[in-house]
Amino acid sequence: MRQKKNQKAIYVISFLLLLVGVGYLVVSGINKNSVYFLNVSEALAKDAESIKNAKVFGKVLAQDLEEKEDSLGVKFWLADKENQAQAIRIDYAGAVPDTFKPGIEVIVQGSMRETGSVFEAQSLMTKCPSKYKKQ
Amino acid sequence: MYLVAYYCLLLAFLLSLVLAGWILSSLSSYLDKKLCSFKWIERFQLINLFLLVLASFVLLWALYVRDFSFAYVVDYTDKTLPWFYALTAFWAGQEGSFLFWALFLSLFGSLFVFMSSYKSLSDLSKKYFWIFFFIIQACFLLVLTGPSNPFQQLSPPPIKGNGLNPLLQHPGMIFHPPLLFIGYAGFSIPACIGLSVSLGREDKSWLRISRNWVLFSWILLTAGIVLGAWWSYMELGWGGYWAWDPVENASLIPWLCATAFIHTSIIGRQRKSLGRTNIFLIGMTLLSCFLGTFLTRSGVLESLHAFSGQKVGGFLLVFMLFLLALILLVTFKGQAREKNQLSDFITTPGAMLVLAWLLLFTGIVVVLGTMWPVISKLWSENSIDVNADFYNQVCLPLFTISIFLLVFCPWLGKRSHSSSLVQITLVAFFFILAAVLWTQGMTKFLPLLAATSSITACFSIIILFFAEKGVRKVRTRWGAYGVHFGVALIALGVAFSGPYKQEREVVLHKGQSFSINDYTFTYKDFSKYTFPGMAAYQAKIEVSNADKIIGKLTPERRIYQNFKQPFAEVSVLPSLGNEIYATLLGFSRDQAVRLKVSVNPLVNWIWIGGTLMCLMGFVALKKKITYFDGQVDEVAG
């Protein structure tokens, strides 16, 4: 009988240990890897200092869209989905996805340049192209 | 036509609702119990199935003949699309995939009627089963007749359709969504059985009755996930098979929950313990299927795949809360037969329980991470998201421990002389292998542990089959250990191809070359092909390893008629060791090309392991189902 009780205690203790371990992983993981997830208006409302690492989503505008020649990247205006007057200049370095074009929704990740006028993006994701719905 | 199909759905909805109400009222003692006749319930269910089949045929026919008066047909097909891709548009969109899911739900419910396990249930259990089943079926039909109707008419019909996205015109994509949906639908049956048998207070083992259902659905879900990973590796041109995208997470959550249940149900069958846990877990498996759909279909997350479908989302949320309440109620109010105490901790069942914890924790982490933009809104002004690194940091250690458990799990709690000899051998093998891999340059701790564990786990399984005659003789054990062998191979593939993948993005002019490690890539030629409906631009890259030419890569960019943006067609040099992978990102007028090239070590073992998991899963199915916990006929690990 005593042994049975011991076994139960072992189960409980190992469960708690595992729980604490996972809890630690989650908390440290979130602290290290969380980024602001903002729309363009929210990003503009924040000061450049606080946008060190953020994801910004919005709609790609057609005007002043520059594909960088011979190198990887693109510069464009990203507008707020609801309020197109609010726009932010994005400078993206890296491979441009096939589905990138004016009018689509994208999520960029990166940081605001010190001057606060240009958002430097390291990653650019387009919303999955009409996997379920046409644009 | 659309009216016929629409009324079929509406009629099936009303029928399901009326049936649920009818059976529910027959439970109350005030009414004559004889009013509720199973013969009629079963017949009505067959009518439901017939109505859904009819509606599905209308949609398939409309897709086949490209009847553009159907909004759904216009959205997902055009005249140039080959007919088999046109038919697969059935599940390319939200409305169609819900119909597909509902169809299989109904089909499985109807099939269950003809099984001896159904006939063995008591009247009370049957009644509960049908109540749960009809509620779920009615829920789907409500969505299909309301916010997500696949039979919307366009008048006047447009002359041409939008066409199917070229990314979806790929063999991986033909089977990926239906496998997931059939898996989801399949879990409804064991969930209904579990809940109803525990409410019906029967003396039968619902775990035995539902074993094959769970396993079958699990196999399809696994196949769907692996196929989806392969598709994104081969077709999206990211060179990645898993990005922790919300949609990928959505299919992983039910898988984790179901896998945890499969292991606790073994403890339930053999030791007759964990009764309530099992009822709860099968319920949660079904619920997580809905959660997955909710995450992808509600627009709650700004996911890559999200689209506006708020109405469906709100409805699903209400239904999920209702289902959760129901599951909790049954878990605590229903009767759990399996009440025995757990075995000692250091035994195979003990390890299986720990594995179930690990899987469930992983599932909770994935839910937390996926929902974080929503959850963080509770205290933060702006929502906060987590990176893919978050999942890697939290989930990969948990997966690694799971693989580690697999090494010793079959040998735990055995006191015989030979098994302790085996354990010592395994420990020695483990450390020697780790040392060898370390000296070969695998110095990152977690991948090293995962790779060592997975190879040792394979070794452990092989020894088990050589050493124990009893194991060799049981077919289901071949299945179970075969699945685990597959899991170990996947872990091996991930441990290498994840952290040790090497990738470069370059711009090359003709004749130029660059290298990754010992591999040299030379840009030789550029050409253009045209086909009806599509034009392809192809770069030819010669690959050599230490001055020996090992092959030619031909990545392409294709432009399809109906789609303005180009699509990358990946080119690989397949190998069981280092797979070379190239994507053509772009090209300029003077034929300079932008390339992404990567060397992926052992990546193909993931697909081999995945295939093995699914095939051996079928071997683990039981031919004959026993209803009572009599003889100890299986000790699957």
Nearest to A14 among B354, B393, B566 (CB): B354
Residue-level pLDDT at B490: 97
Mind listing the pLDDT tens digit for each residue in B397-451? 999 999 999 999 988 877 777 888 899 999 999 999 999 999 998 999 999 999 9
Give the mean model confidence (pLDDT) for residues B143-155.
88
The CA distance from A56 to the nearest CA of chain B, in Å, is 11
The CA distance from B189 to the nearest CA of chain A, in Å, is 27
Residues 6+ apart with CB under 8 A from A50: none
Residue-level pLDDT at B469: 87
Sign of CA pseudo-dihedral B446, B450, B453, B455: negative
Residue-level pLDDT at B310: 54
As a whole number of angstroms, the distance between CA B194 and CA B205 comes to 9
Residue type, B391: Y
Q: What percentage of chain A reaches a pLDDT higher than 90?
A: 19
The CA distance from A35 to the nearest CA of chain B, in Å, is 5
For chains A and B, count residue pairs whose Cβ atoms are closer than 8 Å.
135
Residue-level pLDDT at B277: 93
Mind listing the pLDDT tens digit for each residue in A90-119? 998 877 777 788 888 888 888 888 776 788
Q: Does A93 touch chain B if contact means CB atoms closer than 8 Å?
A: no
Determine, for residues B594 and A15 on separate chains, whether the beta-carbon distance falls below 8 Å. no
Residue-level pLDDT at A101: 80
Determine, for residues B345 and A7 on separate chains, whether the beta-carbon distance falls below 8 Å. yes
Question: Quick one: A4 exposed, middle or buried, by C-beta within 10 A (0-12, 13-18, 19+)?
Answer: exposed
Determine, for residues B305 and A10 on separate chains, whether the beta-carbon distance falls below 8 Å. no
Q: Is the pLDDT of residue B485 over 90?
A: yes
Residue-level pLDDT at A55: 85
Q: Is the pLDDT of residue B162 over 70?
A: yes
Nearest to B304 among A38, A94, A127 (CB): A127
Closest CA to B179 of B240, B249, B91, B95: B91
Determine, for residues B386 and A33 on separate chains, whether the beta-carbon distance falls below 8 Å. yes
Mean pLDDT of chain B: 88
Residue-level pLDDT at B632: 46
B111-117's contacts with Cβ under 8 Å and 24+ in sequence apart are B112/B189, B113/B42, B113/B45, B113/B46, B116/B625, B117/B209, B117/B625, B117/B627
Residue-level pLDDT at B182: 95
The CA distance from B112 to the nearest CA of chain A, in Å, is 32
CA-based nearest residue in chain B for residue A95: B585
Using an 8 Å CB-CB cutoff, list chain B residues near A134. Answer: 75, 162
pTM of the full predicted structure? 0.91
Using an 8 Å CB-CB cutoff, list chain B residues near A96. Answer: 585-586
Residues 6+ apart with CB under 8 A from B223: B175, B179, B610, B614
**What is the band of B512 on the pLDDT scale with cuts at 50, 70, 90?**
very high
Residue-level pLDDT at B129: 95
CA-based nearest residue in chain B for residue A71: B507
Give the mean model confidence (pLDDT) for residues B598-606.
95
As a whole number of angstroms, the distance between CA B446 and CA B454 comes to 12
- Tell me the ipTM for this assembly: 0.83
The CA distance from B513 to the nearest CA of chain A, in Å, is 16
Using an 8 Å CB-CB cutoff, list chain A residues near B304. Answer: 107, 125-128
Closest CA to B609 of B218, B253, B222: B222
Mind listing the pLDDT tens digit for each residue in A41-87? 888 888 777 777 888 888 899 888 887 765 568 899 999 887 888 88
- Per DSSP, the residues of B398-465 read HHHHHHHHHHHGGGTT---HHHHHHHHHHHHHHHHHHHHHHHTT---HHHHHHHHHHHHHHHHHHHHH
Q: Does A24 touch chain B if contact means CB atoms closer than 8 Å?
A: no
Residue-level pLDDT at A41: 84
Structure tokens of B175? Answer: 């089977």
Give the mean model confidence (pLDDT) for residues B521-532.
91
Using an 8 Å CB-CB cutoff, list chain A residues near B165. Answer: 129-131
Q: Is the pLDDT of residue B308 over 50?
A: no
Question: Quick one: B226 exposed, middle or buried, by C-beta within 10 A (0-12, 13-18, 19+)?
Answer: buried
The CA distance from B90 to the nearest CA of chain A, in Å, is 11
Nearest to A107 among B167, B302, B354 (CB): B302
The CA distance from B353 to the nearest CA of chain A, in Å, is 9
- Strand, helix or coil for residue B519: strand
Give the mean model confidence (pLDDT) for residues B516-522.
92
Q: Does A134 touch chain B if contact means CB atoms closer than 8 Å?
A: yes
**What is the band of B633 on the pLDDT scale with cuts at 50, 70, 90?**
very low
Mind listing the pLDDT tens digit for each residue in B328-370? 999 988 877 778 888 888 888 999 999 999 999 999 999 999 8
Residue type, B126: K
Asked if B493 and B604 touch (Cβ cutoff 8 Å), the reply is yes
Give the mean model confidence (pLDDT) for residues B110-116.
94
**25-44 in chain A: CB under 8 A from chain B:** 25-26, 28-30, 32-38, 42
- Strand, helix or coil for residue B223: helix
Determine, for residues B305 and A131 on separate chains, whether the beta-carbon distance falls below 8 Å. yes
Q: Which of B273, B293, B387, B556 to mutate to test the interface with A (most CBs of A within 10 A)?
A: B387
Residue-level pLDDT at B635: 42
Give the mean model confidence (pLDDT) for residues B185-197.
95
Asked if B405 and B411 touch (Cβ cutoff 8 Å), the reply is no
Q: Is the pLDDT of residue A133 over 80?
A: no
As a whole number of angstroms, the distance between CA B188 and CA A56 comes to 39
The CA distance from B382 to the nearest CA of chain A, in Å, is 7
Determine, for residues A128 and B385 on separate chains, whether the beta-carbon distance falls below 8 Å. no
**What is the band of A135 on the pLDDT scale with cuts at 50, 70, 90?**
very low
Sign of CA pseudo-dihedral A105, A111, A115, A116: positive
Mind listing the pLDDT tens digit for each residue in A14-24? 999 999 999 99
Q: What percentage of chain B reaches a pLDDT higher than 70?
A: 94
Strands B571-573, B578-587: parallel, antiparallel or unpaired by DSSP?
antiparallel
CA-based nearest residue in chain B for residue A13: B345
**What is the band of B539 on the pLDDT scale with cuts at 50, 70, 90?**
very high
Nearest to A25 among B302, B354, B394 (CB): B394
Mind listing the pLDDT tens digit for each residue in B556-575? 988 887 776 678 889 999 99
Closest CA to A78 of A68, A65, A94, A67: A65
Maximum CA pair distance of chain A?
A: 79
